[in-house]
Amino acid sequence: MDPRLISDLRAIVGPEWVLTSLEARVTYRSDALTAYQALPGVVVLPGAAEEVQAVVRLCAREGVPFVARGSGTGLSGGAVPLEQGVLLVLSRLNRILAVDLENAQITVEPGVLNLEVSRRVASAGLFYAPDPSSQQVCSIGGNIAENSGGMHCLKYGFTTHHVLAVKVVLPTGELVRLGSRTLQPPGYDLLGVFIGSEGTLGVVVEATLRLVRLPEAVQLVMAAFPTVEEAGAAVSAIIAAGIIPAAIELMDQLCIQATEEAVHAGYPREAGALLLIELDGSPPEVAADTSAVVEVCQRHGALAPRVATSPAERALLWKGRKSALPAMGRLAPAYYLQDGVVPRTALPALLRRIASLAAAAGLRVANVLHAGDGNLHPLVLYDPRVPGETARAEELAGQILLACVELGGSITGEHGVGLDKKRYLPAMFSETDIETMQRVRCAFDPAWQSNPDKLFPTPRLCGERPGPYRPHPLVEAGVATLF
Ligand SMILES: Cc1cc2nc3c(=O)[nH]c(=O)nc-3n(C[C@H](O)[C@H](O)[C@H](O)COP(=O)(O)OP(=O)(O)OC[C@H]3O[C@@H](n4cnc5c(N)ncnc54)[C@H](O)[C@@H]3O)c2cc1C
């Protein structure tokens, strides 16, 4: 990196927060999808919103691209840095700025961890509803950039339903406020455009979040089925009966066997599929819904639905599901985790398709699903030591995404497009659609400097800048063209 830039960055954030050594930069070379790696040109850890703004202004002035990073738990390569760019790590912006219990709102910096928000307001009987499984470590800034979901989003909604306002440093260095602490602000919903934009429209430096009242009662039903088709049909029937559970998670046979081996949660190993259905609300409502869910499950072939009788039993049953990813180590040395979504009624057809694609590829796939949302996480199991198997696993994971699109779904349910899935975007959108999205992006980031190589298969730059023509580094690298 240009030594002048490094010295300007040190002047902004303090020398100890600019990391240039190889050992320090290596730590930041990927997110949780380690298949994609790049060494950042320089890593900067600002300690205040003003410092973020000054760093972004400097990048804009010098024509240097940057990537924002929260906790680095993303699963689509969204926070993979640029070798010629600045990696802006937001983890020091971790203060809770204001708690407004009367209005059930909280204002936080972007590096605050998801679970920390709920912990802070639990004693007041409130919580922050979007709950990715990574909630102990992922940041609110990353959640907003990915529009993250979680097990309880079926009933409570995704991140986008719980963010009231954000302060954002635009890639030009301007500080703007999107959204409002009141409902229904007038004008275009620019907050809606920003949430889920994967770090391509600017950097969140503050967020005001909506809080929800903790339920009075919670109940968990475990129902095992002979086949995934029957379990899938039960999911649709529960919702059709007018019940909105807090969560409905589905695991297939391979997943049940691996997690039971790892955690001994009491799952029936011989079952073809398992549903965990959580109900919450007032005690009479939960009691009525629990009986109705048990009855629907029995009608759809459940072998012996079981209602957890204590919080400890409930926690153990959930522990199995939450250990599904690490438990895969018992089945194979490596897995490729995918994230797709289909209308929930299409889940049985999708699972059949995955089984036949897996058989054709000679690989095994374990499936774990946020079934109520139609959101599926296939885990393609492979052995990287076997020549060609890694490539076959990657190809199979791609075929599964295309099957999701064919069945009326999408290439991502909650993990975002990032680097990993940008090549599949044309399977969902026409060239005109993609060009329209890129024009929206240009309105926020005219020089295409904020996380430039993510989301779009071929970035389009927004026209030439005044002055003598200098080819943009992305054009020279062959990854961008000019509009
Ligand atoms: C074990 C495990 C379980 C997971 N479970 C779930 C799940 O249930 N549901 C789910 O949705 N996801 C899940 N994830 C994925 C991941 O945790 C989420 O996408 C999370 O929101 C990422 O947050 P982060 O702070 O780690 O962001 P990072 O990985 O650091 O960044 C993610 C993206 O956000 C951008 N970004 C980060 N901070 C900012 C900011 N302040 N301003 C603008 N852009 C920013 C980055 O540029 C990048 O594009 C899981 C991941 C793991 C490893």
Ligand 1 mean position to 147 CA, how many Å? 9
Say yes or no: 111 and 203 in one domain: yes
Separation of alpha carbons 202 and 51, rounded Å: 14
Residue to mutate, 36, 53, 75, 336, ligand 1, most ligand atoms under 8 Å from C-beta? 75
Q: Could you tell me the mean pLDDT of each successive run of 10 residues in the chain, 483 residues long?
A: 96 98 97 93 98 98 97 97 97 98 97 98 97 94 96 94 97 96 84 98 98 96 95 94 95 95 94 96 97 97 93 94 90 92 92 95 95 93 95 95 96 93 93 92 94 87 58 70 67
Per-residue confidence (pLDDT) for residue 163, from 0 to 100:
97
Q: Which atom of ligand 1 is nearest to the CA of 144?
A: 21
Q: Which atom of ligand 1 is nearest to the CA of 199?
A: 44
Q: Which atom of ligand 1 is nearest to the CA of 78?
A: 49
On whether residue 248 sits in a domain, the answer given is: yes
pLDDT tens per residue across span 239-298: 999 999 999 999 999 999 999 999 999 999 999 999 999 999 999 999 999 999 999 999
On whether residue 257 sits in a domain, the answer given is: yes
CATH code of residue 147: 3.30.465.10
Is the CB of 69 within 6 Å of ligand 1? yes
Separation of alpha carbons 143 and 152, rounded Å: 15
**324 close to 378: Cβ distance less than 8 angstroms:** no
Beta-bridge partner residues of 378: 367
Q: Collapse the DSSP code of 393 into the 3-class scheme (helix H, G, I; strand E, B; otherwise coil) and give the result.
A: helix
Ligand 1 mean position to 423 CA, how many Å? 20
CATH code of residue 316: 3.30.70.2190
Q: Collapse the DSSP code of 183 into the 3-class scheme (helix H, G, I; strand E, B; otherwise coil) and give the result.
A: coil
Question: Which residue has the CA at smallest separation from atom 19 of ligand 1?
Answer: 74
Question: Which residue has the CA at smallest separation from atom 7 of ligand 1?
Answer: 132
CATH code of residue 388: 3.30.70.2740
On whether residue 173 sits in a domain, the answer given is: yes
Ligand 1 mean position to 362 CA, how many Å? 32
Separation of alpha carbons 168 and 205, rounded Å: 6
- Please give the helix or strand (H or E) that residue 203 lies within, else none: strand 203-210
**77 close to 420: Cβ distance less than 8 angstroms:** yes
> N- to C-terminal Cα distance for the chain?
29
Residue to mutate, 73, 88, 451, ligand 1, most ligand atoms under 8 Å from C-beta? 73
Ligand 1 mean position to 67 CA, how many Å? 13
Per-residue confidence (pLDDT) for residue 466, from 0 to 100:
47
Residue to mutate, 69, 76, 94, ligand 1, most ligand atoms under 8 Å from C-beta? 69
Neighbours of 187 (CB within 10 A): 6
Per-residue confidence (pLDDT) for residue 116, from 0 to 100:
98
Residue to mutate, 28, 138, 193, 337, ligand 1, most ligand atoms under 8 Å from C-beta? 138
Q: How far is CA 464 from CA 87, 452, 468, 480, 483, in A?
A: 25, 16, 9, 13, 9
Final residue belonging to a domain, choices 368, 390, 420: 420
Beta-bridge partner residues of 213: 126
pTM of the predicted model, to two decimals? Answer: 0.93
Separation of alpha carbons 96 and 429, rounded Å: 39
Is the CB of 70 within 6 Å of ligand 1? yes
On whether residue 399 sits in a domain, the answer given is: yes
Question: Which residue has the CA at smallest separation from atom 49 of ligand 1?
Answer: 78
What domain count does the chain have?
Answer: 5
Separation of alpha carbons 351 and 224, rounded Å: 17
Question: Which residue has the CA at smallest separation from atom 52 of ligand 1?
Answer: 134
**439 close to 446: Cβ distance less than 8 angstroms:** no
Q: Which domain holds residue 476?
A: 431-482
Strands 42-44 and 86-89: parallel
Say yes or no: 189 and 271 in one domain: no
On whether residue 425 sits in a domain, the answer given is: no
Say yes or no: 111 and 198 in one domain: yes
Say yes or no: 206 and 120 in one domain: yes
Separation of alpha carbons 138 and 93, rounded Å: 13
Residue to mutate, 134, 419, 444, ligand 1, most ligand atoms under 8 Å from C-beta? 134
In the block, which residue shows the tokens 């999205």? Answer: 437
Final residue belonging to a domain, choices 304, 325, 346: 325
Is the CB of 72 within 6 Å of ligand 1? yes
On whether residue 426 sits in a domain, the answer given is: no
Is the CB of 414 within 6 Å of ligand 1? yes
Per-residue confidence (pLDDT) for residue 461, from 0 to 100:
67
Ligand 1 mean position to 184 CA, how many Å? 27
Is the CB of 79 within 6 Å of ligand 1? yes
Separation of alpha carbons 330 and 442, rounded Å: 47
Sign of the four-CA dihedral 28, 420, 195, 86? positive
